Structure 1
Amino acid sequence: MSSSPSLPYRPDIDGLRALAVLPVILFHAGFNGIPGGFIGVDVFFVISGYLISSILLKELQQGRFSLLHFYERRARRILPALLLVLLCCLPLALLLLLPDELRRFGQSLAAVALFGSNFYFWSTTGYFEPAAETLPLLHSWSLAVEEQFYIVLPLALAAGWRWQRARLLHWTLGLALVSLGLAQWSSQLHPQAGFFLPHTRAWELLAGTALAVSPTGALAALQQRRWVRELVAAAGMLALVLAALSFDYRTPTPSLFTLLPVLGTVALLACAEQTWVGRLLAIRPMVAVGLISYGAYLWHQPLFAFARIAYLGQAPQPVMLGLALLSLLLATLTLQLVERPLRHASRGQRRPGPAAAALALLVPLCLGLGVQQAEGFPGRMPTHYLQRGWDAIQGKNYGLNPACEYQQAFSPKPDCVHGARPNTLLWGDSFAMHLASALVEAEVSFVQATRSACSPNAFLVPHPDAGEYNHHWSQQCLAFNQSVVDYLKAMPEIHYVVMASPFWPYMAEPLFDGQQVQQLALAERIASFVRTAQLLKALGKEPLLVMPPPINGRNIGDCLKRLDAGIFTLDDGVKRGCKFELAAFAELNDDVHEFVAAIAAQAGVRLVRLDEYICPAGHCDPLPLGVPLYRDFAHLSNPGARQLARRFGMFDSMASSPAR
């Protein structure tokens, strides 16, 4: 990632690249010391915008600007290493991925080849979701954003240079402010789109462009006093350190908060040269890492993702550290053996042109489309795996119908009612949804009232204020729960209310009561559920609390699936048949159980403990009689919920009681 030879070389910029890529690698490796390590991508955007714009402006000044040559340089800069990494990923994907995972990998591979992976991941995942850690090509979204930006930037700069040269900085800053405004708006209402899409990221690249187009005299006036340069550079470094240490997954990104690392990077680009900060950035180890930063960025995510897949989601920290070092080694080899020979070919040597670049991109595009078309090659799998129907088992479980994931106030939909004369209401979040098939198996007539992540509490709801779970979501969740209570008031024939949730958000998150957000003592949190249960009892209802299933910190559903497939794995849990001890569950979930047990005891309501059924004698078996009980980390599968209801009759009393 060295600067273009058409610009004076600045070793401090390579050091700044190191300061960007190392936090990203450590963040993706799962090291908790740098919770905001993802801001390294924002740093890269600013550096890229500054360097590319500076090169284009120099060419415009010298009258030798060529759009064709610009794209040829970009192809030689990014394609060799990118294609190498993509091709190396394919055999690992064939070894480690199940058919549905391989099919999605093929889709992402094709999206990378088209420089549209940011749109693909926007539509399929969230950057901070646990599942994203096992996507080998997730990091390519930022490369796609850059290339989409560079479709427009050369043309815009050339037009501005010709017709609006005196106002080029004004136009750049104006567009950056519009993009920043869109980013802030999206961070509140559409955070996933805001994270991945180019119109909300453009302002970060334009911040670098603005520095490049700033009048030379204005920058010289800023830089002529040494103490000013030192102060600005130190402030820039402090801004990056503060962002890396204080930001986390709850920080809206990109948003006004992202101004901290973006402006910090601008300050360093403008003033770090020939300051103590610049000398620190220019030390040999920092420059060495900066020179391989592009390759390190490309290699690290596939290595981490495939390791997590092999270890079923949680690779040991020493393994992740070793892979982080391996990404640096592979990046060094890639730079020496692939990038430099193709990027700096002499005039006498034949250079790959645009046609060659297009043909090269056809390779991963065709491979990706072929893998997708072949549905991930299910023929690799045993017959019993294919007959089990894992796609249905692991598909998102909405209960009776996808329409039962209510987005607005509750009013029973026809598809969310089971039986002729319902006497039961199923109320809660996804942990209530996964009980619907158990109620059906027990022949209970019921109405489903569920909303994802929204626990059954009439008085308080979590207020995590992270991503899509923001203040607006908390308001909607509380309104939904209050509409459920209103429905129950009008329905005397409903006698039982089955209440289910993981409950842990109520133990840690700030809570919202409709007026204010506050941190409450544990006793007050318990009391809110007790009040809810007492309200239901006052309405003549009989509440029934259901604890979440036992967990062991691993993706039990994936363990069962890989056990069934007999695919390569390094996970000891798969080798043990996915069984685990109740003690491992207790270590993780004792506090949740104490919380729910306290609610049941104080409210005087019945409590259903799923661990008593799944873990008899202290040994948890998630595959009793060959039926997979789990679909993921903690949710029951549809056949699993039916199996529990059939074997243990958890809800039989509700089926036999007459409705009131």
Structure 2
Amino acid sequence: MYLKYHSINYRKDIDGLRALAVLSTIAYHAFPNLVSGGFVGVDIFFVISGFLITKIILENLESNSFSFAEFYFRRIRRIFPALFLILVTCYAFGWFALYASEFKGVGEHIAASAGFFQNFILLNEIAYFERSVDTKPLIHLWSLSIEEQFYLLWPAIIWILYKARINLLGAVLILILISFSINIYNIKFDPITTFYSPLSRFWELLVGALWACISLRNSQEARQFSQAALNVFSWVGLILINIAIFWISGKNSFPGWWALLPTVGAVLLISANSEASINRVFLSNNVMVWLGVISYPLYLWHWILLSFGQIISAGKLSDFHKIALILVAIGLAYLTHRYWERLFRYQGKKVAVLLIALMTSIGYQGWSVYVRDGLDFRHKYVLDLHGGRPPHSDKACLQEFVGYQPTFCRLSYVGKNIETVLIGDSIAHNHFSGLERYYSNIGKSFAMVGWPGTQPFLKKTEAENYSLETGHKMNQLIIGLAHDQSVKTVILGFRETAINSLEKVQLERTIKFLRDNGKQAILISPPPHLSFEPIECTGMPPFRPTLNKECIQLAKDINAQYFIARTELIKIAENSNVKLFDTYQQICIQDKCQLRIEGGLLYRNKGYLSIAGSEKIFEKFTE
């Protein structure tokens, strides 16, 4: 049946319902033990959004004034300004206060939030109820992504249904049943995907859409109830929402059947007119209405501030500071609404295009942070003050080994014959500083030559781990050093998390080749890979305090594969009758590895030694 619609006036109580939704969400985020189900505020928002958007579309269709372009431009002017401000704020905070690994994650979330696919990123990343969400300042934007995905599809669907004169109530009911069934079925097998997926969440927005269809019909169906009945609706709706807020918790399979509590409760409050007792006395209260008006920017602000606080305090944010941050969020939400959103809300298409460009720009910046590993150069300068980074090469070395075109090339005692050469990958490169001190003390020249990710092994061209570029260069380097009469010792250094049978053969072949050519071969076992970032031992002043004050790596937290590879390397050295310098014994004593030393830190990141660290570790090195 084709239905005709008429407009309904603005209702203050719906803004009050928005306030109830955002307050319950804030309470959950700040005090989850007291308000265990406050996260259902998002479900209330879904119902409100479905109702209002459908009302707007149907009113415009009925007046023959609906335009897809105008609809989306209005959505852009409504959603983008505050969101852009939040994303820029997160980017700025991340730049000054987040470690590279953290900033990388935030960068990905900025890009995902700007593109409104944050929910898809999270369903492959983390459950909403895990404790670690405290350090993810943009996790709450999963719900905004679902709303925008709904806005992207729903106008076209309802336009087709309306123009085709299809029974809207029946069509919406079918869509609700499909989405709700997906929710109920999947919650048993994949609760994380069910929580974040639009397919299992759209039914909540459609419930609001269903009431919009009913309430806008010319028939009396929406007005046939007595005021007493509507009062009952409002009371039951509020009771259902309160049961959800204080009874449901993250331990329940949510959404599932539990999502009916806030969803039905919200639609009952909307269906009761503004004169219903709860709507008139509670939801239409001036304070509730005011909070409802700023609920969107308040929702955006509150969580990033709480998350920032958790990050800076290392997860020890006090209740006092939580309350203070919530008050700050309310103030920022008001200012955002009053002085920022209004700049764009009632402007034309050009402003909408500008907002699209701004959102694209911040999304690109977030993606750039992600693909550039969290812009780790920001904290490298901090770590440089606590041990330093070795340069990749120096001019004299590159001239000496010009025929090999190495990436890493360091040289000490320029002008003297080079008697000892360290070859290998980036791990070997980090050994240079410590070994240089040893060789300079005994008056011998010393060089380091190598390429990233390239083992110092003689490899056959048909080997599966042979690289056409660097593998060939390493082979030529080893052969060249073996035939160089001035070179007496070749040191092999490399990262090795596992030594397979092929690599064992290649290493033994290399040692034999060098010894057959009269060279002394020395192996260096790599230092252990840390389980935490050394930047945690220094912090990022002035915003980020020191998290790991002891700065100790426990042996039990080191990847077990490291010890397997270390044992294998020791066996190879023994069987080949060559010397091995074990860096682990220099770093760790009695299952504890103290990373803080005089002059700074042993490591400059999880896998690489600092200059000071290299010098410390190789103090006991001898040929």
Unaligned segments of structure 2, at least 5 residues: 1-6, 391-425, 427-497, 499-529, 553-589, 598-605, 609-623
Separation (CA, whole Å) in 1 of partners of 2:67 and 2:182: 32
2:77–2:344: 8 Å Cα contact kept in structure 1?
A: yes
Question: Aligned residue for 2:447?
Answer: none
Separation (CA, whole Å) in 1 of partners of 2:224 and 2:344: 37
1:107–1:368: 8 Å Cα contact kept in structure 2?
A: yes
Query: Given the alignment of the two structures, is residue 47 of structure 1 paired with residue 48 of structure 2, yes or no?
Result: yes
Question: Aligned residue for 1:189?
Answer: 189
Q: Structure 1 residues 115, 573: CA separation in 2 closer, same or farther (over 3 Å shift)? A: closer
Separation (CA, whole Å) in 2 of partners of 1:207 and 1:341: 33
Question: Aligned residue for 2:199?
Answer: 199
Question: Aligned residue for 2:128?
Answer: 127
Q: How does 1:392-431 map onto structure 2 within 5 Å?
A: none
How big is the alpha-carbon RMSD for the aligned residues of Structure 1 and Structure 2?
A: 3.0
1:20–1:41: 8 Å Cα contact kept in structure 2?
A: yes
Separation (CA, whole Å) in 1 of partners of 2:65 and 2:131: 48
Separation (CA, whole Å) in 2 of partners of 1:192 and 1:308: 24
Q: Structure 1 residues 221, 53: CA separation in 2 closer, same or farther (over 3 Å shift)? A: closer
Separation (CA, whole Å) in 1 of partners of 2:317 and 2:187: 31
Letter in 2 for 1:562: E
Q: How does 1:374-385 map onto structure 2 within 5 Å?
A: 374-380=372-378, 381=380, 382-383=383-384
Q: Structure 1 residues 285, 386: CA separation in 2 closer, same or farther (over 3 Å shift)? A: farther
What is the CA-CA distance between 1:566 and the residue it aligns to? Answer: 4.9
What is the CA-CA distance between 1:627 and the residue it aligns to? Answer: 8.8
Question: Aligned residue for 1:73?
Answer: 74
Which TM-score applies when normalising by structure 2?
0.62
What is the CA-CA distance between 1:135 and the residue it aligns to? Answer: 0.6
Letter in 2 for 1:36: G
Question: Aligned residue for 1:284?
Answer: 286
Letter in 1 for 2:371: Q
Letter in 2 for 1:60: L
Higher Rg of the two aligned structures = 2
Separation (CA, whole Å) in 1 of partners of 2:111 and 2:327: 28
What is the CA-CA distance between 1:626 and the residue it aligns to? Answer: 2.6
Letter in 2 for 1:231: V
1:108–1:368: 8 Å Cα contact kept in structure 2?
A: yes
Return the match for 1:577 from 550, 569, 577: 550
2:104–2:374: 8 Å Cα contact kept in structure 1?
A: yes
Letter in 2 for 1:184: I
1:62-103 Cα offsets, whole Å, 9 max, x none, are 111110000000000001111111112211111221111111
1:113–1:365: 8 Å Cα contact kept in structure 2?
A: yes
What is the CA-CA distance between 1:356 and the residue it aligns to? Answer: 2.3
1:573-606 Cα offsets, whole Å, 9 max, x none, are 64x5369xxxxxxxxxxxxxxxxxxxxxxxxxxx
What is the CA-CA distance between 1:7 and the residue it aligns to? Answer: 5.0
Question: Aligned residue for 1:525?
Answer: none
Separation (CA, whole Å) in 2 of partners of 1:329 and 1:223: 42
Separation (CA, whole Å) in 1 of partners of 2:131 and 2:182: 27
Q: Structure 1 residues 198, 386: CA separation in 2 closer, same or farther (over 3 Å shift)? A: farther
Separation (CA, whole Å) in 1 of partners of 2:365 and 2:226: 56
Q: Structure 1 residues 130, 31: CA separation in 2 closer, same or farther (over 3 Å shift)? A: closer
Question: Aligned residue for 2:414?
Answer: none
1:312–1:558: 8 Å Cα contact kept in structure 2?
A: no
Separation (CA, whole Å) in 2 of partners of 1:357 and 1:94: 23
1:169–1:213: 8 Å Cα contact kept in structure 2?
A: yes
Question: Aligned residue for 1:373?
Answer: 371
Question: Aligned residue for 1:259?
Answer: 260
Question: Aligned residue for 2:354?
Answer: 356
Letter in 2 for 1:368: G
Question: Aligned residue for 1:142?
Answer: 143
Q: Structure 1 residues 622, 278: CA separation in 2 closer, same or farther (over 3 Å shift)? A: farther
Q: How does 1:78-93 map onto structure 2 within 5 Å?
A: 78-93=79-94
What is the CA-CA distance between 1:28 and the residue it aligns to? Answer: 1.1
Question: Aligned residue for 1:298?
Answer: 300
What is the CA-CA distance between 1:341 and the residue it aligns to? Answer: 2.8
2:214–2:221: 8 Å Cα contact kept in structure 1?
A: no
Unaligned segments of structure 1, at least 5 residues: 1-5, 390-439, 441-555, 580-620, 629-636, 640-660
What is the CA-CA distance between 1:325 and the residue it aligns to? Answer: 1.0
Separation (CA, whole Å) in 2 of partners of 1:317 and 1:627: 33
Q: Structure 1 residues 566, 152: CA separation in 2 closer, same or farther (over 3 Å shift)? A: closer
Separation (CA, whole Å) in 2 of partners of 1:177 and 1:54: 21
Letter in 2 for 1:340: R
Q: Structure 1 residues 168, 176: CA separation in 2 closer, same or farther (over 3 Å shift)? A: same
Question: Aligned residue for 1:112?
Answer: 113
Question: Aligned residue for 1:236?
Answer: 237
Separation (CA, whole Å) in 1 of partners of 2:547 and 2:349: 51
Separation (CA, whole Å) in 1 of partners of 2:303 and 2:32: 14
1:7–1:55: 8 Å Cα contact kept in structure 2?
A: no
Letter in 1 for 2:199: H
Residues paired across the two proteins, number:
416
Query: Given the alignment of the two structures, is residue 625 of structure 1 paired with residue 623 of structure 2, yes or no?
Result: no
2:551–2:595: 8 Å Cα contact kept in structure 1?
A: no
Separation (CA, whole Å) in 2 of partners of 1:560 and 1:65: 58
SS of equivalent residue, structure 1 residue 188: coil
Query: Given the alignment of the two structures, is residue 225 of structure 1 paired with residue 213 of structure 2, yes or no?
Result: no
SS of equivalent residue, structure 1 residue 327: helix
Q: Structure 1 residues 353, 275: CA separation in 2 closer, same or farther (over 3 Å shift)? A: same
Q: Structure 1 residues 386, 263: CA separation in 2 closer, same or farther (over 3 Å shift)? A: farther
Q: Structure 1 residues 20, 266: CA separation in 2 closer, same or farther (over 3 Å shift)? A: same
What is the CA-CA distance between 1:30 and the residue it aligns to? Answer: 3.0
Separation (CA, whole Å) in 1 of partners of 2:321 and 2:203: 37
What is the CA-CA distance between 1:205 and the residue it aligns to? Answer: 0.4
Separation (CA, whole Å) in 2 of partners of 1:251 and 1:272: 32
Letter in 2 for 1:48: S
SS of equivalent residue, structure 2 residue 344: helix
What is the CA-CA distance between 1:168 and the residue it aligns to? Answer: 0.9
Moved over 4 A (4+): 217-223, 383-389, 556-561, 564-574, 621-624
Separation (CA, whole Å) in 1 of partners of 2:287 and 2:534: 45
2:76–2:356: 8 Å Cα contact kept in structure 1?
A: no
1:534-584 Cα offsets, whole Å, 9 max, x none, are xxxxxxxxxxxxxxxxxxxxxx9769751155555565864x5369xxxxx
- Bigger mean CA deviation after superposition, 128-137 or 42-51: 128-137
Separation (CA, whole Å) in 2 of partners of 1:321 and 1:153: 38
Letter in 1 for 2:245: A
What is the CA-CA distance between 1:374 and the residue it aligns to? Answer: 2.2
What is the CA-CA distance between 1:223 and the residue it aligns to? Answer: 4.9
What is the CA-CA distance between 1:113 and the residue it aligns to? Answer: 1.3
Separation (CA, whole Å) in 2 of partners of 1:276 and 1:217: 25
Question: Aligned residue for 1:612?
Answer: none
Letter in 1 for 2:324: G
1:240–1:260: 8 Å Cα contact kept in structure 2?
A: yes
Separation (CA, whole Å) in 2 of partners of 1:210 and 1:155: 16
Separation (CA, whole Å) in 2 of partners of 1:638 and 1:87: 32
1:184–1:255: 8 Å Cα contact kept in structure 2?
A: yes
Separation (CA, whole Å) in 1 of partners of 2:98 and 2:251: 30
Separation (CA, whole Å) in 2 of partners of 1:328 and 1:192: 31
Separation (CA, whole Å) in 2 of partners of 1:35 and 1:22: 13
Q: Structure 1 residues 385, 189: CA separation in 2 closer, same or farther (over 3 Å shift)? A: farther
What is the CA-CA distance between 1:373 and the residue it aligns to? Answer: 2.8
2:539–2:546: 8 Å Cα contact kept in structure 1?
A: no
Separation (CA, whole Å) in 2 of partners of 1:61 and 1:368: 42
Query: Given the alignment of the two structures, is residue 176 of structure 1 paired with residue 150 of structure 2, yes or no?
Result: no
Q: Structure 1 residues 127, 365: CA separation in 2 closer, same or farther (over 3 Å shift)? A: same
Q: How does 1:618-657 map onto structure 2 within 5 Å?
A: 624-626=593-595
Separation (CA, whole Å) in 2 of partners of 1:267 and 1:341: 35
1:559–1:578: 8 Å Cα contact kept in structure 2?
A: no
Separation (CA, whole Å) in 1 of partners of 2:127 and 2:350: 36
2:84–2:362: 8 Å Cα contact kept in structure 1?
A: yes
Question: Aligned residue for 2:330?
Answer: 328
Separation (CA, whole Å) in 1 of partners of 2:362 and 2:131: 26
Separation (CA, whole Å) in 2 of partners of 1:321 and 1:559: 31
What is the CA-CA distance between 1:221 and the residue it aligns to? Answer: 5.6
1:342–1:351: 8 Å Cα contact kept in structure 2?
A: no
2:538–2:546: 8 Å Cα contact kept in structure 1?
A: no
Question: Aligned residue for 1:18?
Answer: 19
What is the CA-CA distance between 1:52 and the residue it aligns to? Answer: 0.4
Separation (CA, whole Å) in 1 of partners of 2:220 and 2:102: 51
